[in-house]
Structure 1
């Protein structure tokens, strides 16, 4: 009798622990799980038809999947599951010609269209229309610095600074050998 009672108590304790293991405790931090290649709209906007595989790899990074049966296709996959949230996945496929030049892309990104615009189904609207000029917030009028003040000294130093033009870098060669 004592032995059976001990067995039932142990069994109830084990079942309670098993049930509790599946529960999540409030206030416990759950990490975001990211997998794959991070692809941004800026990366897609840099892609141009005719780019070589090497140029595409420089912009996008190594593809997650290079299919043996489709050697002219690179697949980039990215998924994220925010802690406790639903999993979100994005995919991008790049198609190359037989002479290793980019000829097409397919997936969740479109060249020149931001993800927000694609989701909302709106085009980027101009901030103002020609009929309505932009309303500029009224700026407070600046008072001249008082003679001999620190502000006047700083302004004199700023006025004496000589500007130096910033060198413009030469564009990269679009057709490397």
Structure 2
């Protein structure tokens, strides 16, 4: 029996986000350190494939198709030889794909008019309270806390 209520599922982000701008910054002949500076640490770096770094990214959101992107970087010694992978989104495209907020058309103004500011100030001006009279001293006398020397007990 189908139901209209579904449990909430959290967004799952795994791996390294690599954008088109980052991939365009890669040049053959770069050192491993330079590649790491641009792309970050690889998600997969195998002992058996020391000349290859893999950057994998997956993003799963309820109600949307799963995104997955891969980029493989190949070295010869300590020098970048080549790289290959999926078509990568630009940074702007990637951020737009993450935005799950609904578009409501007109954006409300983020500035208050002079009349609104004046109205707010009038409503929130504290009224100075009338001074309270000082508390009257009690008419009760209390015995001293310490006994006086020589007093009988």
TM-score, structure 2 as length reference: 0.52
Q: How far apart, in 1, do the equivalents of 2:60 and 2:38 lie? A: 25
Of residues 62, 70, 74, the one that matches 1:91 is 70
- 2:47 is matched with 68
The Cα RMSD (Å) is: 2.6
- 1:47 is matched with 26
Does the Cα contact within 8 Å between 2:19 and 2:90 map onto a contact in 1? no
Instruction: Map 1:7-156 to 2 at 5 A.
Output: 25=5, 29-98=8-77, 100-109=78-87
Instruction: Work out which of the two has the higher radius of gyration on C-alpha atoms and give 1 or 2.
Output: 2
Following TM superposition, by how much is the alpha carbon of 1:34 offset from its aligned partner in structure 2, in angstroms?
A: 1.0
Following TM superposition, by how much is the alpha carbon of 1:81 offset from its aligned partner in structure 2, in angstroms?
A: 1.1
Between the two structures, name the one with larger relative contact order (CA 8 Å, sep ≥ 6). Answer: 2
Following TM superposition, by how much is the alpha carbon of 1:101 offset from its aligned partner in structure 2, in angstroms?
A: 0.6
Following TM superposition, by how much is the alpha carbon of 1:84 offset from its aligned partner in structure 2, in angstroms?
A: 2.7
Deviations 1:137-163 (A, max 9, x none): xxxxxxxxxxxxxxxxxxxxxxxxxxx
Following TM superposition, by how much is the alpha carbon of 1:30 offset from its aligned partner in structure 2, in angstroms?
A: 3.8
Does the Cα contact within 8 Å between 2:31 and 2:80 map onto a contact in 1? yes
Does the Cα contact within 8 Å between 1:51 and 1:102 map onto a contact in 2? yes
Deviations 1:83-120 (A, max 9, x none): 2323221000000012x11010011037xx969xxxxx
**Secondary structure of the equivalent of 1:44?**
helix
Work out the number of aligned pairs and report it. 91
Following TM superposition, by how much is the alpha carbon of 1:29 offset from its aligned partner in structure 2, in angstroms?
A: 5.0
TM-score, structure 1 as length reference: 0.45
Structure 2: where are the runs of 5+ without partners? Answer: 92-153
Structure 1: where are the runs of 5+ without partners? Answer: 1-18, 116-177
